[in-house]
Amino acid sequence: MTAANPFPSLPTHGTRKVSKWGDRIFVALTGIAAAGILALLVALVAVLYNGSKSSIQVLGFTFLYTTVWNPVGNVYGVVPFLVGTLLTSSVSLLISIPLSLGAAIFLTQQAPAWLRDPVGQLIELLAAIPSIVYGFWGLIVLVPIMRLTIEPALKLYLGWTGLFVGTPIGLDYLTASVVLAVMTIPTITAISRDSIAAVPRSQKEAALSLGATDWEVTRNAVLPYARSGIIAGIVLGLGRALGETMAVLLVIGNSPYLPKSLISQGATISTVIANDFFENAGPFELSALIEAGLILLVVTLVINIGARVILARFQLGRGGMAE
Amino acid sequence: MKFDRAVRRKIFSHGMTVASGLAIVAIMVPLASVIYEAIVQGGSVFNLAFFTQGIPYPCSPRAGVVCQQGGIEPAIQGTFILVGLASLYSVPLGVGAAIFAVEYGSERGIARIIGMAADVLAGVPSIVVGAFIYALVLLYDPAIVFSTISGSLALAVIMVPIVTRTTEEALRTVPNSVREAALALGISRWKTSVRIVLVSALPGVLTGVLLAVARAAGEAAPLLLVCNGLRSFSGFNNVVAAVPIMMFTFATTPYQNWINLAWGGALFLLVLILGLSLASRYVLNRMARRMRGG
């Protein structure tokens, strides 16, 4: 700097004497924000654990394997709700996976070009509709249809399976699963569509040149290539379904018993928390409800992390190709 | 025999084409029904009174009884207050964390950990967020567990990961050469981060904020636990109404005028979210055009 300045017209101050204080303060501020995110995550687990301590200490593991939830008798077992959560989520996936995949395949492979973008964007928009809107629609529009048409028909034709025992009233696991499917379909379709659309043309052309039909191209060349993206979409949909409250709360009937059939009234972990949190809940019941929330958190985390591991494996297998 | 097989494959292929076409029809029917009902039923109460009047007495039309339509002004106001407060906490936190991760963290180290933390937070069910805020505020001051403050904190927890993730992505789209050019000119690092990198990434950041606001505005589950009521705003330590909570409360009653208002609430949320999505798309398109130098 002391030697000849190659650009004498430029000011020399400020090139070296840049204030380090500005930098330090800025790093500190953004660092605090970054630490805040991590702290939030730690606090989430710690506070939920602390809130459920009395329930954990008194009930111990019985909370996890007993099936009676009775606030009057001060007996709490989470199994009926855990079963309800897993049942509604899996039935909703049974409905939403084939439909979403079919729609994604149609939108990327068969639909005329002018239809692809508008419908695709519409579906992305539908994924942003709040769950209370789906739940309200489910209660007012879908429940009567389920009660009067679909459930009697299922009883009549599929009654022999034993899945549809009881009086159809429309407020049950099946209706909750249908609403969950309706609200997760846009998510799964949008992500599957993106990953199918990202499959290189050469992949399809290679299969076509071997004489494959349209379906064989899709089945053998396109879908395997888009597999990790599709799985990611499904898991995201599953995550939404597992934790969903409002859409389920309004249509599941809210009864704290193990399911007798798909058309019996029930509850999930999230709906029992939403339902029982206020009704003159005593401190111990609140503690049990918070523990139920902790378990829901663990279930969703395990599934999310599991999905990540699966995805990472697929990506490794393909040399880190797809997103 | 060979010919038969080819024909069979063709027919099967066409069958699957038809099936996937039917799939899209099948998914569009319920989704179209949601939107149709919201527009038709909600549209019938979408007038000035809906936005300006208070919540009416519950009523169902009978002979000789005319129901007052009323409005949901307290709920709309409450939603704006709750989401506004939540943005106030979550946007600086999310943007700050993203700047730290991208500008000061390395790909494998801090940035990865913060990104993972944001992903985990994004996967936490919203009802669990409600239980968390309940238990957290209870530790601090049991008197304000059910309050506007608690409600906005819960919405903020839901917004933070969305803001963090989209800001991170937006900052990463700014090429490193821009940073290097600024630093080479002797501009300090923090000024480079704020005036050059953040400003170029601003449309992306704004998109993230709009998406987070859209998500929070429609969120009901956590408010059910910590801010559940139909009252107008009366201070930060009291409960305030919100549109999704109003919808839930009205949905479970038999009163016709309340059900109608709930449909109006559904249409309100749909319009709000559509508006925010279109706004974010517009912002992104403008950014794309600017980047192309148009």
Name the residue in chain B with its Cα closest to that of A25.
B190
Q: Which long-range contacts (CB under 8 A, 24 or more apart) does A55-58 make?
A: A55/A284, A55/A287, A55/A288, A55/A290, A55/A291, A56/A291, A58/A284
pLDDT at B294: 43
Q: How far is A162 from chain B (nearest CA, A)?
A: 26
Q: Is B97 on the interface with A (CB under 8 A)?
A: yes
Identity of the residue in B37, B104, B219 whose CB atom sits nearest the CB atom of A30: B104
Q: Is A78 on the interface with B (CB under 8 A)?
A: no
Name the residue in chain B with its Cα closest to that of A23.
B190
Across B126-130, average pLDDT: 96
pLDDT at B110: 82
Residue B127 has pLDDT above 90, yes or no: yes
Residue in A20, A53, A110, A129 to test binding to B, most B beta-carbons within 10 Å: A129
Interface of B with A in 127-166 (CB under 8 A): 127-132, 134-136, 138-139, 157, 160-161, 164
Partners of residue B270 in chain A, C-beta under 8 Å: 129, 133
Q: How far is B190 from chain A (nearest CA, A)?
A: 5
Across B32-45, average pLDDT: 94
Instruction: Summarize pLDDT for A159-188 with one digit per residue, the tens.
Output: 888 888 888 899 999 999 999 999 999 999
Residue B2 has pLDDT above 80, yes or no: no
Burial category of A65 from C-beta neighbours within 10 Å (exposed 0-12, middle 13-18, buried 19 and up) = exposed
Q: Domain-by-domain residue ranges, chain B?
A: 73-291
d(CA B10, CA B4): 10
Contacts of A56 (CB under 8 A, 6+ apart): A49, A63, A291
Partners of residue B17 in chain A, C-beta under 8 Å: 106, 110, 214-215
C-alpha torsion sign, points A209, A215, A216, A220: positive
pLDDT at A250: 95
Residue B95 has pLDDT above 60, yes or no: yes
Q: Domain-by-domain residue ranges, chain A?
A: 20-51, 61-317
pLDDT-above-70 percentage for chain A: 89
A236 within 8 A of A48, measured Cβ to Cβ = no
pLDDT-above-70 percentage for chain B: 96
Residue type, A169: I
Q: Is A33 on the interface with B (CB under 8 A)?
A: yes
d(CA A215, CA B21): 13
Alpha helices in chain A (DSSP H): 20-51, 53-59, 62-65, 79-105, 113-126, 131-137, 143-145, 151-158, 173-197, 201-209, 214-216, 223-225, 227-243, 246-249, 269-276, 283-317
Across B115-124, average pLDDT: 91
Q: Name beta bridge partners: A69.
A: A76
Torsion, Cα A266 A271 A277 A281, to 10 degrees, reads 10
pLDDT at A14: 47
Question: Residue B86 is encoded by which pair of tokens?
Answer: 């939540």
Residue owning tokens 């789906």: A134
Q: Is B233 on the interface with A (CB under 8 A)?
A: no
A69 within 8 A of A256, measured Cβ to Cβ = yes
Winning range, highest mean pLDDT, from A10-14, A69-73, A75-79, B155-159:
B155-159
pLDDT at A19: 64
Interface of B with A in 249-278 (CB under 8 A): 251-252, 259, 262-263, 266, 269-270, 273-274, 277
Residue A235 has pLDDT above 80, yes or no: yes
Top CATH class of B73-291 equals mainly alpha
Instruction: Summarize pLDDT for A127-153 with one digit per residue, the tens.
Output: 889 999 999 999 999 999 999 999 999
Residue A317 has pLDDT above 60, yes or no: no
pLDDT at A233: 87
Name the residue in chain B with its Cα closest to that of A244.
B125
Q: How far is B20 from chain A (nearest CA, A)?
A: 4
pTM: 0.90
pLDDT at B3: 66
Burial category of A248 from C-beta neighbours within 10 Å (exposed 0-12, middle 13-18, buried 19 and up) = buried
B264 within 8 A of B39, measured Cβ to Cβ = no
pLDDT at A40: 95
Across A4-30, average pLDDT: 66
pLDDT at B194: 87
pLDDT at A6: 53
pLDDT at A129: 92
Across A302-312, average pLDDT: 77
Q: Which is more confident, B67 or B163? A: B163
pLDDT at A280: 64
* pLDDT band per the 50, 70, 90 thresholds, residue A303: confident
Q: How far is A180 from chain B (nearest CA, A)?
A: 12
* pLDDT band per the 50, 70, 90 thresholds, residue A154: very high
Residue A320 has pLDDT above 50, yes or no: no
d(CA A29, CA A41): 19
Identity of the residue in A38, A133, A301 whose CB atom sits nearest the CB atom of B38: A133
Q: How far is A287 from chain B (nearest CA, A)?
A: 9
Contacts of B229 (CB under 8 A, 6+ apart): B146, B239, B240, B241, B245
Neighbours of B34 (CB within 10 A): 22
pLDDT at A322: 40
Identity of the residue in B21, B138, B139 whose CB atom sits nearest the CB atom of A106: B21
ipTM above 0.85, yes or no: yes
What's chain A's average pLDDT? 87
d(CA B33, CA A145): 13
Q: Is A195 on the interface with B (CB under 8 A)?
A: no
Partners of residue A291 in chain B, C-beta under 8 Å: none
Dihedral class, residue A282 (left if φ above 0, else alpha if ψ from -120 to 50, else beta): beta
Across A186-196, average pLDDT: 91
- Cβ <8 Å between A300 and B215: no
pLDDT at B107: 60
Residue type, B149: I
Contacts of B13 (CB under 8 A, 6+ apart): A213, A214, A215, A216
- Cβ <8 Å between B127 and A213: no
| Largest pairwise CA distance in chain B | 82
Name the residue in chain A with its Cα closest to that of B162.
A37
Q: Which of A2-6, B32-36, B208-212 has the lowest mean pLDDT?
A: A2-6
Q: Name beta bridge partners: A75.
A: A70
Instruction: Summarize pLDDT for A86-126 with one digit per residue, the tens.
Output: 999 999 999 999 999 999 999 998 888 888 888 888 888 88
Top CATH class of A61-317 equals mainly alpha
Partners of residue A50 in chain B, C-beta under 8 Å: 135, 139
A143 within 8 A of A170, measured Cβ to Cβ = yes
Residue owning tokens 């059939």: A261
Q: Which is more confident, A18 or A323? A: A18
- Cβ <8 Å between A107 and B24: yes
* pLDDT band per the 50, 70, 90 thresholds, residue A319: very low
- Cβ <8 Å between A270 and B221: yes
pLDDT at B264: 96
pLDDT at B52: 93
